[in-house]
Structure 1
Amino acid sequence: MTGATTEYTVAAVGDRLDLVAWGPVGVSDGPSPYAFHGKVQYMLPGDVAAVEYAPDGLRPFLGADLAVAGQVLTWRLRSIGPADTPDSTGTGSASDGGQHDGMVGDESRTGAGSGLRAVFVDDVAGVEVELRWRFAAGTDVVERWATVRNGGAEALTLVRMGSAGFNVPTPEGAAVSYLWGQWSQEFTPASTTLKRGRFEIGSSQGVTGHQFSPTVVVENGVAAYGVGLAWSGSWSIAVDGDVAGLTRVRAGRSLDGAPIRLGPEESVVSPIAAGVYSADGADGVARQWHAYERLLARDVSPRKVIYNSWEATTFDVSAAGQLALAEVAASLGVETFVVDDGWFVGRGNDHGGLGDWTPDPAKFPGGFGAFVAAVREKGLDFGLWVEPEMVNPQSALYAAHPDWVYRSAGRAKTTIRNQYLLDLGREEVFAFVRDTLDGLLTEYPISYLKWDFNRPRTEADRGAADLDGSHVRNLYRVLDFLREKHPAVTIEGCAAGGARVDLAMAARTDVLWPSDNTAPLDRLRIQWGFLSAHAPHLMSSWVTDADGMFDDRPRSPAFRFVLASAGVLGIGADITRWSATERAEAAEWVQRYKDVRDVIMRGEVHRIGSPDSSRCAVQYTLGDRVVVCAWNAGGIDGRDGVPARDIRIPLRGLDPAARYRHRTAVKADYSGAHLMAVGLPVRWTPAYDADLFDLERM
């Protein structure tokens, strides 16, 4: 199979499918780096082969992709060919009757040709497995997934079900890069060297999670290979380095403590696991993910500048207070005004109200509709915060439906942030969430919906049901419904910050909230990690007055605005307290962002330097335009009291023979060769610690 510039080649070896080549087109024209020789001692060949997918009977020792409780699966290859070719046995696809848990987006956007389809059968258990491969259209991202169908007469229980195994030749060991974190410290880059053994990350919380992001990069000294998972529930990515120089990355749902039961003729489809090859290292992998997420998006047009009221008012929401904020926001050039938590009945604090999504008449005495109209009369679109999967014990919804929350019979229920999690997998709960949001969007002219999720799942007891799968499927169903019925509404995904950021959410939302931490140097590190796996059109960022939680060194308002301009610009401070001078500066920065946001949304991204140094920048290139967001995250250079030289920001991917000039007031131009080999000059001072440069090819 071929993508934009790469190929992915597999071959049948008996009843296995092994990887032959993965790299630039033509890489298979030569001996395969995945082939092995010598005897297989004390293991099976499947344990050391570059096998694409294997049950525990074929790969019993070094990490299988599929396992059934009480049985050891082996299988025979029944058919293989293009995905649009009927099964040679005439029995149809293994996915008949199944529901695709992990489809990341509209197939008309992601599908490029038919791809490959292979069907395996375990004749003893009656298990049928269909494997699929395809390159997403116009990209080098190969999508893979598996469908498991129970063709036997008895129920069976899946205790392991991966989406795919990706193989990387690593004769000298692997460098594994990943993103870790916690609340307010998400997307922290880290790496480890894996000579042999296993490295594993994941989540068991029923949500993507703060602790790790479902993506890894494996480098072998020659190239980089990225693997990501399109799943918003519990997940696992395991990186196994064997003794013979092969690293295998297994990605899929985590079924630890939550096996999947399949009755006769029932089937389940795995999430999509996506893989990408790049000769340009981890940053090249990042650019491949950006291109992929732009393909998944319904729209990558410039995002509007938003104002969010949370940090200004928290729960103290009133029509008068919000309109005062809206008045100032409009004067700054903001385009969308979002009322955050606190607008609905019973919501004076975080102890009550969740689930009762009715505007509080005491807070909006003239009526909520009149309030929304007043905001819109200021030239602003209107947005609203919701947390529809949650309920407070102190709410009318919980009083009416206490059985709608996750619980374990005979045991006390756990609250986190004084709230329970609704069992969205139940059809009546799904209908309530869907209809509630549809009702709000239909009754009021809401243009922006911020969907939050502030607690993971703890106890749960619903028999043999697939709780994780049913919750995530119904989440996707609601989002898909809203996107179809209310296509003009921008949806922001949030989960106590960045706890639900993955490829599936990137396909179903328009922007994602990386973290609740908006302090300048802390946020710089968070956004640096975010851009290593996700595109800038998804990265919502606010300018606030927040102090640092992990790095409290002060930074200028310009630093905060340039930082928020690196993605989707928002403002979240109490702007009624800003002076006339601060408001004028903010209005200037908002306009500068509007002048470049199309380049930031759609441009090719290069990260330059480090978020711990005076040379730290993100470059966006689109056609003849080059935009650079630059920050001094280190000490102060350029003081005139001692000899010093300018900091240089070496740009990437320019035409060395062309000249580039500033489009703003700066009167300077440079050759592309100079900008790449020497760098764009900046002279940081205590007052000048960040800037946004707008260049164009002359």
Structure 2
Amino acid sequence: MNDLAVIAWPDRPAGVELPVPADGPVRLVVSGVPLLAAVGRPLVDVFTSVDQRARSSAGHVRSAIGERLRLRSTSVAGDTVEIVQGDVLTGLEVTSRLRRLGPRAFTGWHTVRNVGARTVVLTAVTGAGLLVGEEHVGGARLSWAESGWLAENRWRIEPLRERVPEVNLPLHGQDGRASWGVTSHGAWSTGDHLPMGVLSADGGAVAFEIESSGPWHWELGESLDGVHVTALGPTGARHGFAVPLAPGREWAGTPVTVAWSSDGHDAAVGALIGARRAHRLVDLGALPVVYNDFMNTLMGDPTAERLHPLVDAAADAGAEVFCVDAGWFAADGDWWHTVGEWREAAGRFPDGLAAVLDRIRTHGMLPGLWVEPEVVGVASPVRDALPEEAFLRRDGSRVVEHDRYHLDLRHPAAVAHLDAVVDRLVADYGIGFLKLDYNIDPGADTALVGHAHAYREWLTGLVARHPGLILENCASGAMRADPALLRVSHLQSTSDQQDFRRYPPIAAAAPMTIPPEQAGNWAYPAPEMTGAETAFAMLAGITGRLYLSGFLHRLRPEQRALVHEAVELHKRWRRSIAESVPSWPLGLPGWSDSAVALRLDGPDGALLAVWSRGHDAEIRVAGQLVQLYPVSAPAWPTEPGLLHLPAGYDARLFLVTPI
């Protein structure tokens, strides 16, 4: 490459280099994994409405501006290296920051500033680019995931050549033009796909994820050097993204985290989980067990009479937080289009909501409430109390989605309104837990991207202003369970799925994108369940962040014993789970698999969770199995290195010890 130098980055992740060619932009080389090509990729590509690609293709590679960038300066502060490059033609200056997040991971983001004399319309800024070496493409595998309401975390692992067909580029003597990509189009950042992928081969594995709470895109394409992977936030072509940068203005691009391992797929995912933990901005504290009255229980229709037995039973089961979910603010069940003011409804609580919350505190639990902060119903009194500019607008009018307007937190009036709501709930009710929901998608545009940044800033300020306040991130379950919001949330709901038989593949695959200690897996036992089904329903909660629900006071004594046992077991293991690294002995779970397994290796030992879903199956295990839950249930048949699963719905949690 005729390099002039390699940028010095003290304590950089092992195997990361930043060479500076004499006649080109700074490049990113991840040499810690033989899978990736030693030539690397340019550190950043920039696209505008005028300057697009230097060579035409369907991908976000080889941008004209990116190829013209030249190094201007570098600096280092702690774990972060800062690289400034410029383009003399457009007057754009790009500041790239790469932060070390452990020995095998970093996150990178790029800020584009117009230091020229004319306005430039920005349409895309890449976050990270990787290159699979041509010699590894044939044996490489790609992991990527679809995800949707009630059917989250549906991962598939397939040959890379399934998505990038071999077309004999050497014969044609030039790079390819085709591109295959995965895109999130709107505000539900994980509503269609997950913003993450893993490339693996005998030469190791590399994982990447996009830190966006709005639209994002990643893509594959082939060049003469190998298959390139590009991860970025919004784009003009796919999201209508366009930001006019007047002289002096700047735009911060979407961060992307990269992690790798020479030990394969699950080890690379483990390195990425370590990076997420290092990148987190909130202290998870004591990891309390939460009871919520919604799932398969009150379903958004709470009253004092209905809540009292739930509060008593939740406390008896060992819950440490009790959250009153949706409906506490509504005079009747038709509240969808009236939300936004967040004041308790007259009639639901004869002695006032405060009396219910006092009952929760009397039992030693922290009280919590459900709020959907970013929306205002079309019939809400708040709709006329805020200026028009405080709402997302298109073509001069407010965006309306499912009888709701959407706040724009770039406007100070919107921020002031939400600050006042939370301050009042904390002052008047002493709440310590907020379930923050998000049940509409207003679609993708540049304004939404700005709002998403502002919403994360609001959450950061909320935690600073109310230390100890626990925030759950929810969006119709997990429709916005992205890395950006996980950084500023204590708990992440993993689904709205109410069928306990369909929850295991969601919960078992959740650690691919959510650290186990933040994965709020619902455990909702019901009186009609058998003992085996009760254990089946509870196991997901034990292995993540136990999120309890259900009519606990109606359970049979033997069911209550299983619930209490699960809560106690989770409390004993939650600290170890919070440091654990996941792996999947049966591979990532398929949606209809008859057997699902998740292993968590933590400082106190290795936990193996296994669900049997209707058919006989078996799982190979390396080690001796000690049954932890349910401790009194019949043991499943074993033989050396093999565990036999029975037919029907049943589950076990084991401690794996060396033979």
Shift of the 265–682 alpha-carbon distance from structure 1 to 2, 3 Å rule, reads same
- What is aligned with 1:11? 19
Q: Identical aligned pairs, as a percentage?
A: 23
Q: Distance in 2 between matches of 1:221 and 1:459?
A: 39
Matched with 2:83 is 118
Runs (4+) of structure 1 exceeding 6 A deviation are 2-5, 552-555, 659-667
1:16 to partner: Cα distance: 2.0
Tell me how far apart the structure 1 counterparts of residues 99 and 574 of structure 2 sit (CA, whole Å): 32
| 1:511, distance to aligned residue in structure 2 (A) | 1.1
Give the whole-Å Cα distance in 2 for the aligned partners of 1:447 and 1:411.
Answer: 37
Shift in CA distance, 471/221, structure 1 to aligned 2, threshold 3 Å? same
* Distance apart, 1:343 and its partner CA: 0.5
Moved more, 252-261 or 272-281: 252-261
Question: How far did residue 367 of structure 1 move?
Answer: 2.2
Give secondary structure in 1 for the equivalent of 2:506. Answer: helix
Distance 2:556 2:97 in 1: 59
Q: For 2:342, what is the secondary structure of its paired residue?
A: coil
Which residue type is aligned with residue 340 of structure 2?
G
Are 1:146 and 2:110 matched, yes or no? Answer: yes
Assess if the C-alpha contact under 8 Å between 1:413 and 1:459 holds in 2: no
Write the distance in 1 (CA, Å) between the matches of 2:151 and 2:505. Answer: 8
Of 242, 248, 254, 1:271 maps to 254
Aligned to 2:153: 187
* CA displacement at 1:20 relative to structure 2: 4.2
What TM-score do the two structures reach when normalised by structure 2? 0.85
Amino acid across the alignment from 2:394 = S
**CA, structure 1 residues 347+458, in 2 after alignment: closer, same or farther (shift >3 Å)?**
farther
How far residue 183 of structure 1 moved from its aligned partner, in angstroms, is 1.1
For the residues of structure 2 that align with 1:76 and 1:182, how far apart are their CA atoms? 39
> Hey, what does 1:159 align to over in structure 2?
123
Contact 1:75/1:120, CA 8 A, preserved across alignment = no
Identify if the C-alpha distance between structure 1 residues 20 and 287 changes in structure 2 by more than 3 Å, giving closer, same or farther.
closer
* SS, match of residue 118 in structure 2: coil
Aligned residue in 2 for 1:671 = none
Rounded to whole Å, the distance in 2 between the matches of 1:243 and 1:73 is 19
1:653-682 deviation per Cα after TM superposition (whole angstroms, max 9, x unaligned): x8xxxx886779979xxxxxxx9x953x64
Which residue of 2 is the match for residue 415 of structure 1? 401
Give yes or no for contact 2:576–2:604 (8 Å, CA) kept in 1. no
Counterpart CA distance in 1 for 2:595 and 2:190 is: 31
Within the alignment, does 1:599 sit opposite 2:576 as a pair? yes
Is 1:455 equivalent to 2:432 in the alignment? no
Does the 8 Å contact 1:77/1:118 carry over to 2?
A: no
In 2, Cα distance between the equivalents of 1:79 and 1:678? 62
340-349 or 609-618, which moves further after superposition? 609-618
User: In structure 2, what residue type is equivalent to 1:229?
Assistant: I
Match of 1:438 in 2: 423
User: Which of 251, 269, 274 lines up with 1:286 in the alignment?
Assistant: 269
Matched, 1:692 2:653: yes
Q: Which residue of 1 aligns with 2:168?
A: none
| Alignment pair present for 1:531 and 2:508 | no
Aligned residue for 2:337, secondary structure, equals coil
Q: 247-256 vs 180-189, which deviates more? A: 247-256
Instruction: State the distance in 2 between where 1:300 and 1:666 align.
Output: 29
Match of 1:620 in 2: 600
Aligned partners of 2:471 and 2:573: how far apart in 1?
Answer: 22
Could you tell me how far 1:303 is from its partner in structure 2? Answer: 1.9
Are 2:219 and 1:253 equivalent residues in the alignment? no
2:480 is paired with a residue whose SS is coil
Which consecutive unaligned segments of at least 5 residues does structure 2 have? 1-8, 166-177, 633-637
Aligned: 1:203 with 2:184: yes
Q: Secondary structure at the match of 1:60?
A: coil
Query: 1 CA distance for matches of 2:444 and 2:129?
Result: 31
Question: What one-letter code is carried by the residue in structure 1 that aligns with 2:210?
Answer: L
**What is the one-letter code of the residue matched to 2:497?**
N
Measure, in 2, the Cα distance between the counterparts of 1:479 and 1:6: 33
Instruction: Name the CA shift for 1:258/1:575 in 2 (closer, same or farther; >3 Å).
Output: same
* Offset of residue 546 of structure 1: 8.2
- Distance in 2 (CA, whole Å) between partners of 1:326 and 1:309 is 9
Q: Cα distance, 1:697 vs. partner?
A: 7.4
Partner SS for 1:227:
strand
Q: Which moved more, 1:474-483 or 1:524-533?
A: 524-533
Match of 2:44 among 48, 53, 56: 53
Letter of the 1:121 partner, please give it.
Answer: G
1:100 aligned partner:
none
Q: How far apart are residue 73 of structure 1 and its match? A: 7.1
**Which residue in 2 is equivalent to 1:332?**
317
The CA deviation string for residues 361-395 of structure 1, in whole angstroms up to 9 with x for no partner, is 32122122222111111222111111000111121
SS in 2 for 1:609: coil
> Which deviations, in whole Å up to 9, do the C-alpha atoms of 1:339-379 show, x marking residues without a partner?
00001145622433310111113212212222211111122
Over 3 Å counting, the alpha-carbon distance change for 1:471 and 1:20 in structure 2 is closer
Do the aligned partners of 1:346 and 1:352 also contact (CA within 8 Å) in 2?
no
Match of 1:405 in 2: 391
Partner of 2:143: 177
Contact 2:196–2:207 (CA under 8 A) maintained in structure 1: yes
Q: CA deviation at 1:34?
A: 3.4
Aligned in 2, Cα 1:576/1:229: closer, same or farther, shift over 3 Å?
A: same
Residues 73 and 4 of structure 1, relative CA distance in 2, 3 Å threshold = closer
The one-letter code sitting in structure 2 at the alignment partner of 1:8 is: V
- Tell whether the 8 Å contact from 1:624 to 1:697 is kept in structure 2 after alignment: no
Q: Structure 1's 360 and 177: CA in aligned 2 closer, same or farther, altered over 3 A? A: same
1:232 to 192, 213, 225: 213
Give the Cα separation in 1 of the matches to 2:11 and 2:309. Answer: 52
The 8 Å contact of residues 630 and 690 in structure 1, kept in 2 or not, is answered as yes
CA contact (8 A) 1:624 1:696 kept: no
Q: Could you say what the CA RMSD is over the residues aligned between the two structures, in angstroms?
A: 3.2
1:556: which partner in 2?
A: 533
- Contact kept? 2:523, 2:539, Cα under 8 Å: no
Would the aligned equivalents of 2:185 and 2:444 in 1 still touch at CA under 8 Å?
Answer: no
Give unpaired runs (5+ residues) of structure 1.
36-48, 85-111, 461-465, 638-646, 668-674
Q: Which amino acid aligns with 1:34?
A: A
Pairing 1:21-32 to 2, within 5 Å after superposition:
21-23=30-32
Give TM-score scaled by structure 1 length.
Answer: 0.80
- C-alpha distance in 1, partners of 2:504/2:455? 30
Residues 158 and 260 in structure 1, CA contact (< 8 A), matched pair in contact too: yes
Out of 254, 261, 279, which is 1:296 matched to? Answer: 279
**Residue type at the aligned position of 2:653:** L
User: Deviation digits for residues 253-298 of structure 1, max 9, x if unmatched?
Assistant: 3343131111210111112111111223221122112212222333
Match of 2:74 in 1: 81
